[in-house]
């Protein structure tokens, strides 16, 4: 039998602005980003499920001391009958429904009742723990594969550093190597055309790929769907705390459109993989962080992004780097195929236990 979640949990929200984050802070700072930031003080010390209340809706589990952004929901169990890791697994499945229920214009958000009114089945505590054990075993294998991918990504970063360090390389502004005549969708599509929409939640900011898109007719698309995205375009999120939402579009379809919350970098006189490596560099990320402005929704403008100075290697060296990336990508592909099978198995478990 399913019951309303609100009777079994305590729900509160964080109190801080996203600007409260600091580098190398002692405690996790949970915001709407999938990856926690850091902070020097904590307000909460508990075992809980955290739900991003706006922007990149996502779910996390944490036990310990932390702090939270004002639009992050903190959900604790109010009864020994509800195992918090089980609640986390439930919301990993239910997050898709929450995204569909999100309301608002520029930035979608969820309300408290979207959580408290959720219907959930609560079996015995022993069954909840057994279910969680199955997911934990599967997660360990997935995490091992993901660590392998991270190591391969580190190889690419290391090669990029080797190529660009210790050389007398001239620097140019990013604006000089990318195309700035980005087509607006109103001049490209008819109202009845179908488009694929890329927003913040479309970007996997761990794997840095476009993991999902939403499909709309142009006339029904969100008002922020403004920029045509072509193959090899690099998408850089301009809104903090999602500045690590960076990905290269590697799909040749001509109906992909990005939110105005991205700066779309279209290679003009630069090798695409080299441009992507620049966007993934720590120096570029730090530049974005330093140049964000605004209180409630801090962001960096595309104009500022295009002022960033990049090391302009000779075309030959850029192409050698691209070949190196291609070889590493072959190894990554094998691991990614294994991950897909594991994720399929995980989804089947989600469907089995949470409908």
Give the CA distances from residue 78 to residues 2, 18, 72, 262, in Å, rounded to whole numbers and listed in that order: 17, 28, 19, 40
User: Both 178 and 302 in a single domain?
Assistant: yes
List all residues 6 or more positions away from 203 whose beta carbon is below 8 Å from its beta carbon. Answer: 209, 210, 211, 235, 237, 245, 246, 247
Low-confidence ranges of the chain (pLDDT < 50): none
In a domain, 161, yes or no: no
List all residues 6 or more positions away from 47 whose beta carbon is below 8 Å from its beta carbon. Answer: 62, 63, 76, 77, 84
Residue range of the domain that includes 106 = 2-122
User: Both 209 and 219 in a single domain?
Assistant: yes
Per-residue pLDDT tens digits for 90-104:
999 999 898 888 887
Surface-to-core class of residue 105, CB atoms within 10 Å of its CB (0-12 exposed, 13-18 middle, 19+ buried): exposed
In a domain, 34, yes or no: yes
pLDDT (0 to 100) of residue 181: 66
In a domain, 301, yes or no: yes
User: Both 276 and 336 in a single domain?
Assistant: no
pLDDT (0 to 100) of residue 212: 84
In a domain, 304, yes or no: yes
User: Both 40 and 136 in a single domain?
Assistant: no
User: Both 226 and 251 in a single domain?
Assistant: yes
The radius of gyration computed from the CA coordinates of the chain, to the nearest angstrom, equals 22
Contact, 31 vs 217, CB < 8 A?
no
Per-residue pLDDT tens digits for 2-40:
999 999 999 999 999 988 999 899 999 999 888 899 999
User: Both 352 and 290 in a single domain?
Assistant: no
Distance from C-alpha of 172 to C-alpha of 329, rounded to nearest angstrom: 28
Distance from C-alpha of 325 to C-alpha of 345, rounded to nearest angstrom: 30
User: Both 189 and 140 in a single domain?
Assistant: no
Q: Name the strand (E) or helix (H) holding 332.
A: helix 315-354
In a domain, 162, yes or no: no
What strand order describes the sheet that includes 214-217?
214-217, 194-198, 256-259, 225-229
User: Both 195 and 224 in a single domain?
Assistant: yes
Predicted model pTM: 0.64
Angle between helices 84-101 and 125-164 (to 10 degrees): 70
Q: Are strands 194-198 and 214-217 parallel, antiparallel or unpaired?
A: antiparallel
Which residue is listed with tokens 């999902």?
212
User: Both 132 and 207 in a single domain?
Assistant: no
pLDDT (0 to 100) of residue 55: 77
In a domain, 274, yes or no: yes
pLDDT (0 to 100) of residue 191: 84
In a domain, 293, yes or no: yes
Domain count, the chain: 3
Distance from C-alpha of 179 to C-alpha of 263, rounded to nearest angstrom: 12
User: Both 112 and 128 in a single domain?
Assistant: no
In a domain, 165, yes or no: no
Which residue is listed with tokens 């403004």?
226
Q: Name the strand (E) or helix (H) holding 98.
A: helix 84-101
User: Both 260 and 340 in a single domain?
Assistant: no
- Give the pair of three-digit tokens for residue 81: 């009958």
Give the CA distances from residue 181 to residues 178, 261, 264, 306, in Å, rounded to whole numbers and listed in that order: 9, 17, 10, 13
Q: What is the CATH number of the domain that holds 225?
A: 3.90.220.20
Contact, 107 vs 55, CB < 8 A?
yes
User: Both 184 and 308 in a single domain?
Assistant: yes
pLDDT (0 to 100) of residue 76: 97
pLDDT (0 to 100) of residue 186: 59
């Amino acid at each position: 039998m399913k019951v309303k979640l609100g009777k079994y949990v305590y729900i509160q929200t964080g109190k801080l602005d996203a600007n409260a984050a600091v580098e190398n802070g002692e405690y996790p700072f949970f915001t709407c980003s999938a990856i926690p930031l850091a902070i020097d003080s904590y307000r909460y010390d508990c075992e809980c499920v955290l739900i991003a209340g706006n922007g990149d809706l996502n779910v996390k589990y944490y036990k310990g001391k932390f702090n939270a952004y004002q639009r992050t929901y903190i959900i604790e169990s109010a009864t020994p009958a509800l195992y918090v890791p089980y609640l986390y697994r439930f919301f990993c499945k239910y997050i898709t429904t929450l995204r569909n229920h999100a309301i608002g214009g520029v930035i979608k958000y969820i309300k408290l009742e979207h959580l408290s009114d959720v219907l959930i089945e609560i079996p015995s505590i022993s069954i909840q723990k057994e279910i969680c054990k199955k997911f934990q075993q599967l997660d360990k294998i997935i995490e091992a594969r993901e660590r392998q991918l991270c190591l391969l990504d580190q190889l690419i970063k290391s090669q990029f550093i080797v190529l660009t360090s210790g050389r007398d390389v001239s620097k140019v502004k990013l604006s000089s190597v990318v195309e700035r005549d980005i087509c607006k969708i109103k001049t490209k599509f008819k109202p009845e055309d179908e488009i694929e929409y890329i927003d913040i939640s479309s970007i996997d900011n761990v794997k840095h790929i476009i993991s999902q898109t939403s499909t709309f007719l142009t006339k029904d698309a969100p008002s922020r769907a403004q920029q045509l995205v072509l193959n090899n375009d690099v998408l850089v999120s301009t809104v903090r705390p999602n500045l690590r939402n960076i990905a290269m579009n590697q799909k040749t379809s001509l109906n992909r459109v990005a939110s105005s919350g991205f700066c779309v970098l279209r290679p003009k006189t630069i090798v695409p993989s080299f441009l992507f490596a620049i966007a993934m560099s720590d120096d570029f990320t730090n530049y974005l962080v330093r140049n964000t402005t605004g209180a409630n929704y801090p962001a960096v403008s595309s104009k500022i992004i295009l002022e960033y100075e990049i090391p302009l290697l000779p075309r030959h060296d850029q192409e050698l780097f691209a070949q190196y990336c291609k070889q590493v990508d072959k190894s990554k592909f094998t691991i990614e195929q294994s991950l897909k099978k594991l994720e399929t198995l995980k989804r089947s478990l989600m469907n089995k236990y949470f409908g």
